[in-house]
């Protein structure tokens, strides 16, 4: 049986993207589902012909001579927290890999973008700030068992979410703050792929967004990087914010097999967060119809709705019409560990080429 979800936005209602236009004249696709619009964040011509040595888009020869103080994790998101706790930060005094160091959000900056690139990409941070703040509002009613059942909806532009994640990936690479078990490591990134993702939201086949079913309840907010199996090449990033857990792959060909959990789904258009107090839906819009392929080839792991237990996931057969994903559970089960790492349940094969 295939469930159906009725989108809450009438064609005359204000568009959920936050513009002041009617849904029908803004993001509504012909089938009623929202469609992402193409964007181009390349700085306006003419090119400056200058490559700033500290700017991670310096290879485009289109930099300003001024470097800006850029928040590696968007300020629009940091603002939603009082402070950031950082673990395992290279070169930070007192970082022993065990204790969290709590920094005021202003401190989490780095000189990694010239002012010209910083302003051309700043709309990605505005977008992410709005997206995560709507999640932030949706989460409390989900987590409180005595709250009246609440249902919240959020719409996000899929390619923009992907581009924003690559901004975090490129920014952390450029700031040199990536560590493995407390030790700083050298990293590399495919600059051309990063540029295509940042400027136009374009990815190579098989790369892009994967949403994780949460196999770690109460996964901590954080980011984690996917490395090439043998070298320092950064192939993607895993982000968990407000309980929404997803990965964005930049370099699909070089991603280590098994890096993504087997229940990660590729560019799903609907993601549901649910719990005792209500549930929330994230609707991701794509320029074309969203692909609902499964990374693990034919298996979807869906925790039974309302169940106390997260384990084991029951594999369902057939393609998922809906992407029912993350479940919040405030009581950690004895088997659950707090971790920012996605736990791989079985080894997975690389994704099929898209059709
Ligand atoms: Zn719109
Ligand atoms: Zn630049």
**Eight-class DSSP state of 348:** -
Compute, in angstroms, the gap from residue 84 CA to the centroid of ligand 1. 32
Would you state the pLDDT for residue 159? 95
Residue 148 CA to residue 338 CA, distance in Å, equals 28
Compute, in angstroms, the gap from residue 307 CA to the centroid of ligand 2. 50
Locate 137 and state its tokens: 């509002």
What element of type H or E holds 281?
A: strand 278-285
For residues 145-165, give the mean pLDDT. Answer: 83
Locate 116 and state its tokens: 């010209």
Contact 105, 84 (CB under 8 A): yes
Compute, in angstroms, the gap from residue 240 CA to the centroid of ligand 2. 28
pLDDT band (50, 70, 90) for residue 262: low
- Closest ligand to 114 CA? 2
Compute, in angstroms, the gap from residue 13 CA to the centroid of ligand 1. 10
Compute, in angstroms, the gap from residue 155 CA to the centroid of ligand 1. 9
What element of type H or E holds 140?
A: helix 115-143
Locate 191 and state its tokens: 């600059």
Strand order from edge to edge, sheet including 234-241: 222-227, 234-241, 244-249, 208-211, 265-266
Contact 172, 110 (CB under 8 A): no
Residue 6, exposed/middle/buried by CB under 10 A (0-12, 13-18, 19+)? exposed
- Closest ligand to 65 CA? 2
Compute, in angstroms, the gap from residue 263 CA to the centroid of ligand 1. 30
CA angle 296, 353, 340 (to 5 degrees): 45
Compute, in angstroms, the gap from residue 96 CA to the centroid of ligand 1. 46
Per-position DSSP letters for 177-235, written without gaps between them: --EETTEE---B--HHHHHHHHHH----TT-EEEEPP-SSTTPPSEEEEEEBSSSSBEE
Per-position DSSP letters for 102-121, written without gaps between them: EEEGGG-EEEEEEHHHHHHH
CA distances in angstroms from 271 to 29, 33, 196, 204, 319, listed in the order given = 19, 14, 26, 23, 15
Compute, in angstroms, the gap from residue 108 CA to the centroid of ligand 2. 20
- Closest ligand to 191 CA? 2
Compute, in angstroms, the gap from residue 63 CA to the centroid of ligand 2. 4
Query: Which of 16-25, 282-291, 308-317 reaches the highest mean pLDDT?
Result: 16-25
- Closest ligand to 120 CA? 2
pLDDT for 53-90, tens place per residue?
Answer: 999 999 999 999 999 877 766 777 766 665 555 544 44
pLDDT band (50, 70, 90) for residue 264: confident
Compute, in angstroms, the gap from residue 20 CA to the centroid of ligand 1. 8
Q: How many CB atoms lie within 10 A of CB 332?
A: 12
- Closest ligand to 43 CA? 2
- Closest ligand to 37 CA? 1
pLDDT band (50, 70, 90) for residue 163: very high
Compute, in angstroms, the gap from residue 12 CA to the centroid of ligand 1. 12
49: Cβ–Cβ under 8 A, 6 or more apart, which residues? Answer: 61, 62
Q: How many CB atoms lie within 10 A of CB 94?
A: 7
pLDDT for 17-36, tens place per residue?
Answer: 888 999 999 999 887 888 99
Would you state the pLDDT for residue 224? 78
Q: How many CB atoms lie within 10 A of CB 351?
A: 21
Would you state the pLDDT for residue 311? 32
Query: Which of 82-96, 147-161, 272-286 reaches the highest mean pLDDT?
Result: 147-161
Residue 308, exposed/middle/buried by CB under 10 A (0-12, 13-18, 19+)? exposed
Residue 110 CA to residue 177 CA, distance in Å, equals 10
CA distances in angstroms from 88 to 168, 177, 227, listed in the order given = 17, 9, 17
**Eight-class DSSP state of 42:** S
Compute, in angstroms, the gap from residue 122 CA to the centroid of ligand 2. 13
237: Cβ–Cβ under 8 A, 6 or more apart, which residues? Answer: 165, 166, 168, 169, 223, 224, 225, 226, 247, 248, 250
């Amino acid at each position: 049986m295939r469930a159906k979800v009725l989108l809450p936005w009438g064609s005359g209602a204000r568009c959920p993207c936050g513009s002041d236009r009617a849904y029908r004249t803004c993001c509504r696709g012909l089938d009623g589902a929202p469609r992402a619009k193409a964007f181009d964040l390349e700085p306006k011509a003419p090119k400056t012909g200058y490559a700033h040595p500290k700017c991670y888009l310096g290879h485009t020869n289109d930099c300003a001579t001024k470097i800006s103080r850029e928040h590696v994790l968007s300020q629009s998101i940091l603002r939603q927290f009082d402070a950031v706790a950082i673990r395992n930060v290279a070169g930070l005094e007192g970082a022993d890999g065990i204790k969290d160091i709590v920094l005021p959000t202003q401190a989490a900056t780095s000189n990694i973008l010239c002012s010209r690139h910083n302003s051309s990409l700043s709309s990605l941070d505005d977008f992410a700030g709005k997206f995560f703040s709507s999640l932030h509002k949706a989460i409390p009613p989900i987590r409180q068992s005595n709250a009246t059942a609440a249902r919240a909806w959020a719409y996000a532009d899929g390619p923009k979410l992907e581009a924003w994640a690559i901004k975090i990936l490129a920014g952390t690479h450029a700031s040199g703050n990536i560590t493995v078990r407390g030790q700083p490591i050298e990293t590399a990134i495919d600059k051309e792929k990063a540029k295509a993702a940042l400027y136009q939201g374009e990815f190579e086949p098989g790369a892009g967004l994967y949403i994780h079913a949460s196999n770690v309840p109460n996964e901590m907010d954080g980011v984690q990087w996917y490395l090439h199996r043998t070298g320092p090449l950064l192939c993607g990033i895993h982000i968990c914010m407000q309980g929404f857990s997803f990965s964005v792959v930049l370099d699909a060909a070089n991603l280590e097999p098994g890096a993504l959990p087997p229940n990660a789904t590729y560019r799903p258009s609907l993601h549901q967060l649910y719990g005792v107090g209500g549930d929330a839906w994230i609707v991701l819009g794509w320029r074309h119809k969203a692909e609902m392929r499964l990374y693990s080839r034919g298996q979807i792991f869906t925790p039974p709705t309302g169940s106390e237990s997260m384990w084991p996931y029951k594999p369902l057969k057939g393609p998922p019409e809906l992407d029912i994903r993350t479940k919040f559970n405030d009581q950690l089960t004895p088997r659950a560990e707090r971790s920012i790492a996605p736990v791989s349940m079985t080894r997975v094969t690389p994704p099929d080429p898209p059709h």
